[in-house]
Amino acid sequence: MASLRPVGEQSGRVARSRRVQVRIAEECLELDPGSPDDLNLLRRWVGRINGATYPQPYFVESPEGRFRLYVGEAAERVRTARGIA
């Protein structure tokens, strides 16, 4: 099982406070990154999470720079609506 570690512990960097807003919507979690570093990190996650062999979860970036994480039936609905099998 995965465990949580402070940011600085793994990378050797000092952890800085981050302001990422997370909203819980009916079908997804919506993440609004607070810094360019967080934005780049979430963009790297998109490719890792949305692998071809895994239909769920589904992680997408909206034009406003917000990210949404869908799971379960919601992930299937969004993938189908976007033409992804």
pTM for this structure? 0.65
Report the C-alpha gap between 5 and 80 in whole angstroms. Answer: 36
Report the C-alpha gap between 68 and 31 in whole angstroms. Answer: 6
Model confidence over 30-72: pLDDT tens digits?
988 888 888 888 888 888 888 776 667 889 888 778 899 998 8
pLDDT at 12 (0 to 100): 46
CB neighbour list of residue 62: distance below 8 Å, 6 or more residues apart:
68
What are φ and ψ of residue 40, in 5° steps?
-65, -40
Question: CA angle, 13 as apex, 11 and 14 as ends, to 5°?
Answer: 135
Q: Is the pLDDT of residue 14 over 80?
A: no
Report the C-alpha gap between 20 and 15 in whole angstroms. Answer: 14
- 68 located within any domain: yes
- 8 located within any domain: no
Q: Is the pLDDT of residue 3 over 70?
A: no
- 6 located within any domain: no
Ordered alpha helix ranges (H), the chain: 7-11, 36-49, 72-81
- 52 located within any domain: yes
**Count of domains observed in the chain:** 1
**Domain, as residue range, for 63:** 20-81
